[in-house]
Structure 1
Amino acid sequence: MTQPITIGGLSSNLDTKSIIDKLVQVQGNSQVLLQKRQTAQNDAISAYSSMLGNIGSLVTQVDSLAKTSSWATTSATSSVSSVTATATGSVANSLSFDVTKVAAAHTLISNGSVNSLGATVATGSTISLAKSDGTSTNINVGTGSLSEVVSAINSANAGITASAVQTSPGNYRLQIAATNTGAASSFTLSGLSGFTGGTGTDAMKTLVTGSDASITVGGSGGYTVTSSTNTFSDVAQGLSFTVSKVESGVTVSSAVDTTKVSDQVSGIVTNINNLLSSITTNTAWDASSKKGGPLLGDSTVRALQQQILSTVAGMNAPGLSVTSGGQVQFDKTTFDTAFKSDPTGTMAAYGASSSFTAASGVAASATYTNATSKTEAGTYAVNIDSTAKAEQWQVIPPGTGIVGRTVALMRGSTTVKYEVQAGEDATAAASKLNTMLATAGMGITASADSSGNLVFAASNPGSAGAFTATIDGGGTASQTVAGDDIAGTIDGVTGKGIGNILTVPTDSESGAAGLSVQVNSAATGAIGDITYKPGLAQQLSGLFTQMSDSQTGSLVQAQTTAKNQVKDLQTQIDAWTDRLDAYRSSITAKFTAMETSLSALKTQQSSLASFFNSSSSSSSS
């Protein structure tokens, strides 16, 4: 609002501006109180934001800690630099062996050379690749020049790579290698020629024979282990190692090392203590300054503080305790000792555990595979309507037999085809197909039944394992079992089945909300009860989520209330601004009128004084 122009005190000799400012100030005390209340609410909002940020980080940390299956609690060492070892699991182990062979990729080299990259090295527009598993691939090489052959092979994604090697100026040889190592990497190529200067009649010869890596455990009286790669896994439980050259007297070992996990726990404890200190500071009263923190008297944050401390104290997780000063303390030595003596129990204390009691006469088992922060400790009935089933197909060859027939398996966008070779029966074909299916990662296994038919089955139960099978030449392929997911209830709530895992919806009102259970049972109906017990990390995750959930979180709601109060106070402050502007205008007008009146009176007084002075002078004359 535009203020009226005044000339204060010219007639009254009063500092009217100061008087007006003080009168407005007195009237504005109510607005000042509102502004102070608004500042206090903004301070509370900032305090809530800081705490919610800390809690958000803690949720991520405790959720990670709760996944005890991924704890890194062992470290590996190797006695030689040519063998590198890694360890998994929670048990120490050791293995001594000799490296007798390293894996090699099968490699061919041209038997002679050509004088340029443009020289023709193919007899036609295609070359044929034949692998050790019996599969063959035709590769289009265009005009058949050396450069085109190299490019075509590398673009075919057929499991081999090619290069033109210049052995001397103007002399080029073709080198082709399998992309994978191992004895199964061997292959042959036909349709190449045109190389000169070589010996023998074949265009290509073996440069490196594909071979498996092998180790011997126990010396001459021991046993041999082979691997198509240079990596060996779980020869000794929890130990994997990669070899790079022939070596004698190698020892790889693993030792229990909880450093990474204890560092995780220590980091969580640090952040919890920071949160607890923040609550104490924000809710404290300073007697000397007679001022309180922005959350003084806030029952929500005080409840959070007590819940954190009581949860830690009540779970008895190894290595953790609560101090008399209201902080959490972590003792790494105690944690290490507990883990080494009882790794399973220690993991359960931090993560979660379950037990299953089968119904009378029912052969079944069930264990939790996952849970959320909403999942509560308790015992829940498991009822199965239908069990999970693995997809199965039967392929029946035509009456003329299986030789020469092409069998194809399709799952999603992946297809595996195999033409049964002369001299092979269904058993031999199944063996070749198993190698191909494993390489393609199809999740399907092949076998032969007593009637000479091929039988295919998904490796895992569930609808996700569905596939189709075909055979040409008049044979038939039919689905004998449709892949199906488990169906049933947990705690009376219908769960979502994926394979043989049944999950309670997270929006369920049941205490089992979010609980996933893997069921192994051929029986249906009430198969038994599962008891779920969350560990410390899972409990803390639930507590922190309860406080910080964007819709229902207690701290979020408290912060929202404070934000709404700030908006309401701002409305009141704005109203007072308008009211004070109006009040200032009103009293300014009154003072202006007073000054105007006084000015007029002074003018009249001056005129009268002049008149009487003039009259007195005339009378004297």
Structure 2
Amino acid sequence: MAEAVSGAVSGGIGNSGQANIGSSTTAVASIALIANDGSPINVGGSNPAGAGLSAGIGGAYLGASFNADATRTAGNIVIDSSNNTLSGIMDAINKGNFGVTASIVSDGSTGTGATPNRLILTSSATGQSSTMKITLAGSGGEPPDDALVSLLGYDPGGVQNLSQKAAASDTKATVNGINVTSASTSIGGAITGVTINALKVGASTLAVTKDTGGLTNAVNSFVKGYNDLNTQITALGGYNTDTKTGGPLLGDSTLRNLQATIRAQLSSSITGLQGSGLTNLSQIGVSFQKDGSLALDGGKLQKAIDNNYADIASLFAAVGHGSDPEVQFASSSAKTQAGNYAINITQLASKGTLTGNVALPAETTIAADTKWTITLNDSTPSTLSNTQSVSIPAGTYNPSQLATALQSAINGVSAFSNAGATVAVTVDDSGMLKLESTRYGAKSNLTVVGDTGTDISALFGSATPVQGVDVAGTIGGYTATGDGQTLTGAPGAPIDGLKLTITGDTTGPRGTFGFSQGYAYQLNTLATGYLGGNGIIAGRTKGLNDTVKDITAQRDKFSARLVDVEARYRKQYTALDTSIASMNTTQSFLTQQLAALAANK
């Protein structure tokens, strides 16, 4: 900065109270650019170095903090002499499988001192709250390696040795003029029962209506499918009076029984449809004609769609409805019989838990190199992969932060996550820390053993784990087997194979459960019985093939007997021929002798 003056003027920069002789002063300042929302900053222009800046994309959080999200995984990797290269670190992160993908990108720089390769870490989670924190710790209580800290250390609320190149954001939209946000590209709940997938920015109109056209087409396809089958059965087992010929299976009992069974099923009413106004095909306009085919009355179908849209599917599929909304249909088997069954629950399913018996203090310090051995959802005999060493991040936590850190550390173990085993960690109203498996039932269990660093007693006191139990009860008065929250009907009973999911917190009578087998389900079961590997047609085919084999064997035996008969007859003929020849010789000899005697008289 320069000042130029003239005339009899006193003062000036560095000349207070004296005649102004002029002066020149240089002021130097530095510029720091910090994004207050974590968005990257793009520095360009012709001479950014003139402002003390570097060209390119960078940026840091201003006044940010980091709070771990317990619903997302955390993980630990070990960097040692076997993988202390950029590619080795990348592979270790990717193998950790805890929601972060690592890659290496080269910026193309060359020459002495150039470092062209850049480690890029990308979260697999979306949403504005998505961020990450990378903390390094040495082994055995030693400090971490300074070079690794300089390369990887990143804390949105502290030292940021990595720079964020792209900030996470939520999906933002307006639905009927109401602002909505979502952490993913799917927006649910804005319209009841509808999930919107936002694929691009822009405006669109969404019309939510009943798919009456699709339903009508489905019923028409059902009618056409039956009529095609009926035509084929008639061609195979019928008699054509015009041509005076019968089908190849005319009179076959299997074909006749199949046709009669199908017609009987489609003519009967569906049982077990609690609260449904539809129980048979005629109520939706499907009825038999004189020639045995089905016809659809479009008017009746439309009336059923208008008045009983949700019940039409129950006429075709295997469904179940309970009077208690917390008794849900899971599945059934071909042996499950339709009907209404009373539900009685004697024991609710629970989870394996470890609940502390001492309240957590305002702050809990986890020592460096804290490792616990945790066994989660183990089986009998024990499975080695169900027991893992878990590193608990060092630091000072309030109760909520401690629960989040502990949950993230356990769920971040790849052996657990690969097996679908997870835990939930909470703090109850009394300040007790509660660790529980997210699985229900007798297979839900956990044990925690402190190895190094902070002992588990500092968090849980002298508490002992409690193993989960399976749901228990009866269905329709029949014995049922519990597995977690699933209650399965016992073999041999009408409820054989019926699986119900029991939730809620009430034991005792839980209302009734209606199970129905729709027409399409019944036909599918029938088809399996006829067409399966051990089905009726396979058995009938085997029987016919066995009959053919028997006839062939009998024919071969008869042919062999004919050969023997022919050989015997030929032998007898040869013997007879020899006898006749001998007799002819004898006759000739006697004739000669008699003639000689007559001549000598």
Pick closer, same or farther for the CA change 1:463–1:584 going to 2, 3 Å.
same
How far off is 1:323 after superposition?
3.5
CA distance in 1, matches of 2:322, 2:96: 52
Fraction of identical pairs, as percent = 22
Aligned to 2:399: 426
Q: Secondary structure at the match of 1:206?
A: coil
Aligned to 1:100: none
Q: 1:222 aligns with which of 174, 178, 201?
A: 178
Aligned to 1:180: 124
Q: Contact between 2:445 and 2:466, CA under 8 Å: does it hold in 1?
A: no
Q: Does 496-505 or 387-396 show the bigger shift?
A: 387-396
Q: Secondary structure at the match of 2:429?
A: coil
Q: 1:371 aligns with which of 332, 337, 346?
A: 332
Pick closer, same or farther for the CA change 1:452–1:152 going to 2, 3 Å.
same
Aligned to 1:497: 482
How far off is 1:433 after superposition?
4.9
Amino acid at match of 1:411: L
How far off is 1:277 after superposition?
3.8
Given the alignment of the two structures, is residue 580 of structure 1 paired with residue 562 of structure 2, yes or no? Answer: yes
CA distance in 1, matches of 2:244, 2:406: 83
Q: Secondary structure at the match of 2:330?
A: strand
Q: Contact between 1:497 and 1:503, CA under 8 Å: does it hold in 2?
A: yes
Given the alignment of the two structures, is residue 165 of structure 1 paired with residue 106 of structure 2, yes or no? Answer: yes
Q: Deviations over 1:252-282 (max 9, x none)?
A: 5555447777776666656544543443334
Unaligned runs of 5+ in 1: 1-103, 110-129, 196-201, 359-363
Q: 1:133 aligns with which of 68, 84, 96?
A: 68
Q: What is the TM-score normalised by the length of structure 2?
A: 0.64
How far off is 1:152 after superposition?
4.9
1:411-490 matches, cutoff 5 A: 411-412=376-377, 413=385, 418-419=392-393, 421-422=395-396, 424-433=397-406, 442-459=421-438, 461-469=440-448, 472-473=454-455, 474-475=457-458, 476=460, 478-479=463-464, 481-490=466-475
How far off is 1:343 after superposition?
3.5
Q: 2:262 aligns with which of 308, 325, 344?
A: 308
Q: Deviations over 1:212-246 (max 9, x none)?
A: 32313259x7334131x44444543444444455x
Q: Deviations over 1:384-418 (max 9, x none)?
A: 33222233321357988622266966535576654
Aligned to 1:280: 234
Q: Contact between 1:373 and 1:538, CA under 8 Å: does it hold in 2?
A: no
Q: Contact between 1:160 and 1:179, CA under 8 Å: does it hold in 2?
A: yes
Aligned to 1:592: 574
Q: Contact between 1:485 and 1:499, CA under 8 Å: does it hold in 2?
A: yes
Pick closer, same or farther for the CA change 1:298–1:108 going to 2, 3 Å.
farther
Q: Does 485-494 or 230-239 show the bigger shift?
A: 230-239
User: Which of the two has greater helix per residue?
Assistant: 1
How far off is 1:319 after superposition?
6.2
1:19-168 matches, cutoff 5 A: 133=68, 137=76, 139-140=78-79, 142=81, 145-155=85-95, 157=97, 159-168=100-109
Q: Contact between 1:374 and 1:542, CA under 8 Å: does it hold in 2?
A: no
Q: Contact between 2:360 and 2:399, CA under 8 Å: does it hold in 1?
A: no
CA distance in 2, matches of 1:330, 1:574: 56
Q: 2:518 aligns with which of 535, 556, 562?
A: 535
Aligned to 1:347: 313
Aligned to 1:395: 356
Q: 2:288 aligns with which of 322, 337, 340?
A: 322
Q: What is the TM-score normalised by the length of structure 1?
A: 0.62
Number of equivalences = 477
The higher relative CO (CA closer than 8 Å, separation ≥ 6) is in 1
Given the alignment of the two structures, is residue 213 of structure 1 paired with residue 170 of structure 2, yes or no? Answer: yes
CA distance in 1, matches of 2:234, 2:514: 37
Amino acid at match of 2:567: S
CA distance in 2, matches of 1:319, 1:169: 79
User: Which of the two has greater strand per residue?
Assistant: 1
Q: Contact between 1:107 and 1:175, CA under 8 Å: does it hold in 2?
A: no
Amino acid at match of 2:475: I
Amino acid at match of 1:429: L
RMSD: 4.8
Pick closer, same or farther for the CA change 1:560–1:526 going to 2, 3 Å.
farther
Pick closer, same or farther for the CA change 1:155–1:434 going to 2, 3 Å.
closer
Q: Contact between 1:133 and 1:436, CA under 8 Å: does it hold in 2?
A: no
How far off is 1:294 after superposition?
5.1
Q: Contact between 2:68 and 2:404, CA under 8 Å: does it hold in 1?
A: no
Amino acid at match of 1:592: T
Q: Secondary structure at the match of 2:555?
A: helix
CA distance in 2, matches of 1:258, 1:435: 47
Q: Secondary structure at the match of 2:108?
A: strand
CA distance in 1, matches of 2:133, 2:41: 9
